[in-house]
Chain A
């Protein structure tokens, strides 16, 4: 009898152990901790303004209608350029004045306010003052003649370029008023007779100076 009970108990134990091993899993102590950091991306943007009068109390936006052109005479259109950093990072900034190649021999950008700079359109011409470096050259495809006026100074967020690297556009007496090819499209406010002004900007991070920075910029027209 006793032996029978003992066998029964052993059997029950075995059954219970088998049941446990088939349905339970060993668990482990664990822990976790987490952190998240947010990064934001910089934006680069400048706003170009062109004025025809910067004297007195205010600056007057250029209106080409005030300056009707006269064939046979030299025409001067006031052309003061200014850019404001409207992005959220400091930038190197430059002005780019693009002249259709057909006009290039008749049009020059006056840089005479830049200290020793003179009006000059020789290829690879360059001059500078304390704040700007100006160069003149033709585009690679010879479609345009271009003035580059690069600001030497970093333009901080919300800041405006210092005054005034350009003063006017000269159009000599050989010019014949002709809408074809010289008109500004879409009533653009940066265009005078097909001559367009742009403000280019590039991040300062990664560049030792403005000239180096703009070597890396792809131009748009």
Chain B
């Protein structure tokens, strides 16, 4: 009997399948690929800084000392490009090698947040337009007290120790506050200033950079075309205890590492018409003013008002 080749192969294949079905394992070519996505969680973290520095009162010139080298060393203000009413402002004193005068007669030094200077032509000026940087504000706001001297403005803690004591009617002291976003999410921020009930009518916290202060035309206060009224809003309320609360909301969110540009307040003043007897009974012969900075994620909100409505609802 002649066996057909085809028959043999077919039989072998069938037998092979039968054998596999009965007890063997077949291998397959395979492949595997993996991808992993890392997700991070946003964070909202703000730091409140209190400073004696008003953002736009930086002297963009040099502080004139007995010689140019000292003057350069004493220059603690950065020459920061500044836009005033939409146009770049370049202060003519903001040059590194300006000739200085050795005649300092009649030149006062650091005074009331301004630096006075005199050039070789004998011209005196103070507080040329300029801007304190975020770093300068942070430096001023932190650290142990450094008292002001004729050549050094000291820092905020030093200013508080010297100037916040023994206040009399009509006297006013500097107080500027800034908020920095230290988180990694955009955040809306607001500042609340609380004046205790027992001095609410005796003390004024000045907030001149808001629409509520009619003496400050909005057109005089703008940064790169953004008018102040669109930058900051103020609402004054009184709580059940009679404390006056000034609430300032920044209308645009802060990006991570960004600091608010304007301080919503500038000074604390003892009102002109108060009497010493009005303050009788104050604990420690004084009063405290509290500043709170609140922040909420910007994501999910189209306006600051909406954001802080949610903030208050969540924290009520």
Which residues of A pack against B, CB within 8 Å?
A: 26-44, 88-89, 203, 205-206
Contact = CB atoms under 8 A, between A and B. Distances in A.
Closest 5 CB pairs of A and B: A40-B286, A42-B166, A203-B168, A33-B48, A29-B44
A30 B292 contact: no
Interface of B: 42-48, 50, 160, 164-171, 173, 175, 179, 183, 185, 187, 203, 268, 270, 276, 279, 282, 284-297, 300, 307, 310-311, 314-315
Contacts of A28: 296-297, 300, 307, 310-311, 314
A43 B285 CA distance: 9
A143 to B, nearest CB: 25
A29 B181 CA distance: 13
Nearest to A203: B168
A49 to B, nearest CB: 22
A34 B170 contact: no
Contacts of B160: 37
A31 B183 contact: yes
Nearest to B293: A33
Given A35-B291, A42-B167, A44-B276, 4 more contacts: A28-B310, A35-B50, A36-B290, A39-B289
Contacts of B179: 33
A205 B169 CA distance: 8
A40 to B, nearest CB: 4
9 contacts: A29-B183, A31-B183, A33-B179, A35-B290, A36-B291, A39-B288, A41-B166, A41-B167, A206-B169
Contact of B44 (A31, A37, A205): A31
B292 A33 contact: yes
Nearest to A204: B168
A29 B43 contact: yes
A162 B23 CA distance: 122
A38 B284 CA distance: 9
A31 B45 contact: yes
A100 to B, nearest CB: 29
Q: Summarize A's interface: helix, strand, loop or mixed.
A: strand
Contacts of A203: 168-169
Contact of B296 (A29, A38, A88): A29
Given A39-B286, A40-B284, A30 B297 contact: yes
A199 to B, nearest CB: 16
Given A88-B166, A89-B168, A41 B48 contact: no
Contacts of B286: 38-41
A33 B46 contact: yes
A145 to B, nearest CB: 29
A33 B177 CA distance: 12
Contacts of B175: 37
Contacts of B276: 41, 43-44
A41 to B, nearest CB: 4
A29 B167 contact: no
B284 A205 contact: no
Contact of B42 (A29, A37, A40): A29
Given A34-B291, A34-B292, A41-B166, A27 B314 contact: yes
Contacts of B282: 41
Given A27-B314, A30-B44, A33-B48, A42 B168 contact: yes
Contacts of B288: 36-39
A40 B164 contact: yes
B313 to A, nearest CB: 8
A20 B136 CA distance: 49
Contacts of B173: 39
B281 to A, nearest CB: 11
A29 B50 contact: no
A34 B293 contact: yes
Nearest to B50: A35
A21 to B, nearest CB: 17
Contact of B270 (A31, A41, A88): A41
Given A30-B44, A206-B169, A39 B287 contact: yes
Given A28-B300, A28-B310, A29-B44, A39 B167 contact: yes
A31 to B, nearest CB: 5
Nearest to B274: A41
A29 B297 CA distance: 6
Nearest to B189: A31
Given A29-B42, A29-B43, A34-B293, A41 B314 contact: no
A28 B188 CA distance: 12
B289 A37 contact: yes
Contacts of B50: 35, 37
A203 B276 CA distance: 11
Nearest to B185: A29
B134 to A, nearest CB: 16
